[in-house]
Amino acid sequence: MLLMACELQADPSIDWLSDSYSAFDVILGGSGPGWSGTVTSPSGLWQLSSQNVIEYPYTFSAGGPAWVHIQNFGLATFLGGLPPQLPPPGSETLSISPFGTYNDYFEPVAPINDGTPLDYGSLYDIDWLGGSTISVTSIPSVDDISAWTWTAEYYASGPSLEVPEPRAIFIGTLAAILGLAPIFRKKAALSGN
């Protein structure tokens, strides 16, 4: 996995739309050639390592047309306590990401929208689904990439990862036992015991 810190890029705006045991959704936004780094959700449940690179001009051959090169990757890791049955065998953490970094090329005309599913990792293996998008929202001057604005969004949801409190487990077990008691008494009465 390639994650790098880009010294010339300012820290992005960060907006956590969802931050729970069953979902996360975060939007990063900024200007210039993207941003790479790590952010943690307000609850401390999620950590996102993100690489968002916007490169211009990008040419495939000398004298060829100039393209906008978009490179994007995000790995979201659950930092909360794990339920007893998790993580899946062979995994020490719960995470979700695209299978690899994706690269695409576009004409330098805004808006540019790109994305890929989050479909790799131990969270995906337990039925979490999500996606990663990146958009170049404005290009005021093709020749000044520092003025370009962009947003990147990472989101996923799935079965709750919340660990039940021991007291809740005890109460649930006790309720189940007490719920069965009338059945056993009725069965005993019918059998004559």
Q: What does the pLDDT read at residue 189?
A: 60
Q: What does the pLDDT read at residue 100?
A: 87
The answer to whether 147 touches 136, Cβ cutoff 8 Å, is no
Q: What does the pLDDT read at residue 104?
A: 95
Residue found by looking up tokens 């900024």 in the block:
30
Q: What does the pLDDT read at residue 127?
A: 95
Tokens of 25: 């959704």
Tokens of 72: 């994007």
Q: What is the mean pLDDT of each run of 10 residues along the chain (193 residues)?
A: 45 96 97 96 97 94 93 94 67 87 94 96 94 97 96 97 64 50 57 61
Listed in sequence order, the residues at least 6 apart from 43 whose beta carbon sits closer than 8 Å to its beta carbon are 19, 20
Residue found by looking up tokens 């936004």 in the block:
29
Q: pTM of this prediction? A: 0.79
Q: What is the CA radius of gyration of the chain?
A: 24
